[in-house]
Amino acid sequence: MKNTKAKNNDARITKPPLLEGVWERLQASNPLLQAFSGIHQTAPFTAIKIEHYLPAFDAAIDEAKKEVQEIIDNPASPDFANTIVSLDLAGERLNRIQSVFFNLNSADTSDEMQNIAQEVSPKLSDFGNDITLNKQLFDRIKTVHDQRESLLLNAEESTLLEKTYRRFVRSGANLNETDKAKYREITKELSQLGLKYQQNVLAETNAYELLITDKKDLSGLPDSIIEMAAQTAQSKGKEGWLFNLQFPSYVPFLKYADNRILREQIFRASSSRANHGNENDNKDLIRRIVDLKIEKAHLLGFRTHAAYKLQERMAETPEKVIQFLGDLHLKSKPFAEKEFAEIQEFAERAGFSGRIQRWDWAYYSEKLKSERYNYTDEEVKPYLQLEKVIEGVFSLARKLYGLQLIENTNIEVYHPDVTAYEVYNEENEFIAVLYLDFFPRESKRSGAWMTDYRSQSNVKGNPIRPHISLVTNFSKPTENSPSMLTFDEVTTFLHEFGHGLHGMLSQCQFPGTSGTNVYWDFVELPSQIHENWAYEKEWLDQFAVHYQTGEKLPEELIQKIQKAQNFQAAYMMERQISFALLDMAYYNREMPVSGDLKEFEMQAISSTDLFEPVDGSLQSTSFSHIFSGGYDAGYYSYKWAEVLDADAFSVFQEKGIFNRETADSFRRNILEKGGSEHPAILYQAFRGQEATAVALLKRNGLED
């Protein structure tokens, strides 16, 4: 079987064409196979049914194979246009179907969709391997690549050529036939394991409920959280107040609930997800995922999976990442230990005895912050009504980049909670479609993310503008109050909107270089830099008003927020470093993970951990970022990009936070350029120099 697969690598990659008339009938009955005819060619969400997906995938894969085979069979000598560009454009219909399906599988899934994902992922893996392991196709690419010095390509064209060539090499194009067959097996299995991991996390998240029937157990919780819990219970046909592991419920409970026993219970439930030895347990999946990635790295000539991934990152090597994390750790650990001691002392002054545990941290931290800065998150929330925050974020886009965002209710959406906007520039030219999806539901995975349903390109005078989606899990409105955000949720909105700007403002030529198709440790720069405006009075004054009185967010309260910006900054840095170290522990290794995963995890993060271990708690089994979210050997990129964002924002601080000249430079050199050039070149074009950690350490109060 393996040898048969290997020998087929050089064969024609098309299947027999569909029988005459079959394609036409299939296309006529399947909206996924038709030209999207909605406003701006948006997806026809309301017409798409669950039964459309599998036939659409099968037909689109066949079509994409035919398009690639035409490149291979082209009798003309390989050149940049007929090989590299044509390959970048091949499979457009399949890409569109994948975007719709997998985006909805994250934002509005079902058991049926998850089953389809498991069925279609191996097909997509096979299709990808059929392309990258095809010798005839790679020979054409290599011919063009070998001639690159004489082709007179511009920067973006050179980038696409190099990116295409390296993608094939990194996907096994130079392997012998036996190893190509092995590579196919590994990638196919990995495509299924990542999906299963995420499905298990979602199932475990949805399985837990904390039903409170005694009102005294609600002590300490804000009225808005109590009302939300009552509404959740009512929606489930239950009496009392229902809490769950969704962030808008879980985080406030840990922060405000006086009942320590219940805080411990909900914390243990969250921290032990997919670690119960049941059908949703992820431990064996983790071992298998890590083992397969090690095997794939070795097959491709790399010592570790981290070395493989970092070859195409700004950090370049695992050694640089470890050194980077170590330098930050040396700076932050002494401050983090001091912050921990402060919380311990504060808790004892408040009557607590013993060593504080993980389920105590948020509770006493919030009380200390309230005492020290004389404000709480709940004081700020009434001034951060979601609709007003949306206005504020849109006004920021207008001031910095001249954008106008206009809701269009005629654009189809995939769920009643979703709103769609048209985005225009100052010349009233259409720029993008933006979908906003704010509220949690059982069909949506946790967290917040940006994605796209169509990427930007402009090949041969055919401008394609992007369709961008931002997905979060903010608190829903209740019967008595609108959706009000915490300050942290405002920064989350700004973060994802920054990603969205990276996609919306892209002005690249090729799909493969546009938008967020950049190095993983550079992609967080546009998102993280926009978080900085949350602390600026000049921006908050534009929208932050009390939802009942219309009173502006008081200047005194803004000053308290600014002063509290560095509250427990070192602790948070150590926490992020611990995640990055755990990531590197799994992926910067040459041998499979053996022994108990809890012990492995504790050893990986021991230098950063300030708490006693918790029985049953295991970060790894719900660490979706690195096992199903693409951040494998890349979690460090949040801190890496934070260095960039602090350094870059210092220019705005120097010249004015709404300075159009600075914003135009950031737009022109960063947001519009996507991955058209190496990120170091793009950053220096904006900043005029390489980034240093000075601004970040200063911002976090870790350096004078």
Give the active site residues: 496
**Do residues 263 and 360 make contact, with C-beta atoms less than 8 angstroms apart?**
yes
- Tell me the DSSP string of 427-465: T--EEEEEEEE----TTS-SS-EEEEEE--EEETTEEE-
Kindly give, in sequence order, each residue whose CB lies less than 8 Å from that of residue 326, ignoring residues fewer than 6 positions away. Answer: none
Q: What are phi and psi of 423, to 5 degrees?
A: -115, 130
Q: What are phi and psi of 433, to 5 degrees?
A: -105, 140
Q: Give, rounded to a whole angstrom, the gap between the first and last alpha carbons of the chain.
A: 64
Tokens of 354: 């013993």
Return d(Cα 589, Cα 293) in angstroms, integer: 10
Residue 23's Cβ-side half-sphere holds a number of Cα atoms within 13 Å equal to: 11
Return d(Cα 297, Cα 313) in angstroms, integer: 16
Task: Name the CA dihedral angle for 609, 613, 616, 619, rounded to a multiple of 10 degrees.
Answer: 0
Kindly give, in sequence order, each residue whose CB lies less than 8 Å from that of residue 665, ignoring residues fewer than 6 positions away. Answer: 686
Across-strand partners of 650? none
Return d(Cα 279, Cα 636) in angstroms, integer: 31
Residue type, 22: V
Burial class (CB in 10 A: 0-12, 13-18, 19+), 284: exposed
- Tell me the DSSP string of 663-703: HHHHIIIIITTTTSS-HHHHHHHHHSS---SHHHHHHTTS-
Return d(Cα 23, Cα 45) in angstroms, integer: 22
Q: How far is CA 411 from CA 48, 106, 418, 465, in A?
A: 15, 21, 11, 15
The helix (run of H) or strand (run of E) holding residue 405 is: strand 404-407
Tokens of 489: 């949720």
Burial class (CB in 10 A: 0-12, 13-18, 19+), 611: middle
